[in-house]
Amino acid sequence: MSNITNIPAPRVPFVDERTGLVSREWFRYLNNQFALTGGGTTSTSIADLELTPSLASTVEDSIPVLQSQIDALLEAPARYEPNPVNYGQFFDSTTQTAAATNTAYPITFNLSSSAYGVYVDPANTSHIKVTRPAIYNMQFSIQLDKTSGGTGLFWVWGRINGNNIANSASQVRIQNNNGEIFVAANLFVSMSDGDYFELMWAVDDTSVRLQATAAAGVVPAIPSVILTMTQVYI
């Protein structure tokens, strides 16, 4: 039975239109069936050649098998569930001031709106920590104010584990009493387990400060600083 030929597809005509004879495919199929039965001299029966479950099977036996096959066809592929990325958004609702000029101070945070895998260390609220080693996109915005006349310089930069991040600093010049400037930037930072990120600042005039303002009228509260950190690569 090594030369079994499957029944031709429905698109194969039984009669070849060119010759008016039985088509080659159907002839080969019928000839093989004849050979398998030994020209009618063997004990092989048509039932032995059935490709479907035997009609002798009881209804009770066949229905569960058919139902399980149908159920298997209806099952959808397993849904892909990607690992959620780490993220966090943090604010500070207080005005932050510098006690001395040309001195580095860490920016602190006392509020968060949403976070997963990124958090402010409760023991040191300037430390932003992560639970997964990855590259993170850190973005910040700062509301600056000056409380006296003249001109003052403000610097801001990033640190990892107390070490300055190279080429991460920005400088802003602010002028006059009640002068206000909005500062924003972003950095890509690589962080591992146990690492912490800090946003540092310094001024050459202590009248320059990070200003927080309460909500008023249609305007919501203005934090002195907003920082977001989002995982971008594992």
CATH of the domain at 191: 2.60.120.40
The answer to whether residue 49 scores a pLDDT higher than 80 is no
Q: What is the pLDDT of residue 51?
A: 54
- Say if residue 210 is in the same domain as residue 118: yes
Q: What is the pTM of this model?
A: 0.66
- 82 assigned to some structural domain: no
The answer to whether residue 57 scores a pLDDT higher than 60 is no
The answer to whether residue 164 scores a pLDDT higher than 80 is yes
Q: What is the pLDDT of residue 214?
A: 96
- Say if residue 91 is in the same domain as residue 70: no
- 62 assigned to some structural domain: yes
| d(C-alpha 197, C-alpha 172), whole Å | 22
Residue-range definition of the domain harbouring residue 161: 87-233
Q: What is the pLDDT of residue 7?
A: 76
87 versus 42: which is more confidently predicted?
87
- Say if residue 68 is in the same domain as residue 132: no
Instruction: Answer whether 168's CB lies under 8 Å from 187's CB.
Output: yes
> How would you classify the pairing of strands 111-116 and 179-191?
unpaired
- Say if residue 198 is in the same domain as residue 100: yes
The answer to whether residue 175 scores a pLDDT higher than 80 is yes
Instruction: Answer whether 13's CB lies under 8 Å from 31's CB.
Output: no
> Residue 177: is it exposed, middle or buried by C-beta count within 10 angstroms (0-12/13-18/19+)?
exposed
